[in-house]
Amino acid sequence: MRLQNKVAVITGGSSGIGRATALLFAAEGAKVVITDVNDAGGQETLDLIKAAGNEALYFHADVSKAADCEGMIAFAEEKYGAVHILFNNAGIMHSDDGDATGTTESVWDLTMNINVKGVFLGCKYGIPAIRRAGGGSIINTASFVAILGAATPQLAYTASKGAVLAMSRELAVIHARENIRVNSLCPGPLRTELLMKFLNTEAKKQRRLVHVPMGRFGEAEEMAKAALYLASDESSYVTGTSFMVDGGITSAYVTPE
């Protein structure tokens, strides 16, 4: 049990990486607070955790709203007594996100509000709680596109994930002496609903896959295992990293066979 006696708050827990991580963290002994705006999906995640005999609660939270982020942390402390792990995972990839000329201001603002402001607000209210608990781990979901840029234009998303990397590095430095670790998880292309809705044609999928040395999309469960390492005491000397879990895409440019 790698997270025994730990309390974890996971945003975006209704599907994808968030759901897989909630299931894994709970199986590893953590008490998990799942948050999302998708209450039906969140309840499904909760039911899966409880069916496995593990402990979790659900809290409705829009991470772009300060009151919701403050509320989710207060809820976790009230119900479970502490917060040791914060996984700022909620994010969007809008289907109308494109290049600078094609992306509307509304799509840009929505993406930044959830992907960047949501991480900021999670940390704003989560860090004092983790400090009260004596320390812990914050994991912020970024992306390989923050390092490379995307083959298929998605400017708002790419810029938002670059901001997450920069924010995570600075927070890691600020809080290192408080036993609070902050790392970015940078997934490669994943076979999740979020990306598959964006790569909605076979041509788009192949345009992305051709650059992945492993030649396949990653799985949400693989990201959950990486998050588990960052959340656990096994990574006690790891902070400020951009943890790449990307099938090798940031290491080499692969041309079509």
Active site residues: 157
Q: What's the burial of 134, exposed, middle or buried (CB within 10 Å: 0-12/13-18/19+)?
A: exposed
Which is nearest to 183 in space by CA: 172, 196, 175, 170?
172
Measured distance CA(102)–CA(100) in Å, rounded: 6
Q: Could you give phi then psi for residue 242, rounded to 5 degrees? A: -105, 95
Measured distance CA(257)–CA(63) in Å, rounded: 42
Helix (H, G, I), strand (E, B) or coil at 27: helix
Residues 141/91, Cβ–Cβ less than 8 Å: yes
Contacts of 217 (CB under 8 A, 6+ apart): 188, 189, 190, 191, 195, 209
Which is nearest to 245 in space by CA: 185, 158, 155?
185
Q: Other C-beta atoms within 10 Å of 50: how many?
A: 13
Measured distance CA(105)–CA(209) in Å, rounded: 29
Q: What angle do CA 136, 248, 167 make, to 5 degrees?
A: 35
**What are the C-alpha distances in Å from 141 to residues 61, 86, 202?**
17, 11, 26
Q: Other C-beta atoms within 10 Å of 101: how many?
A: 7
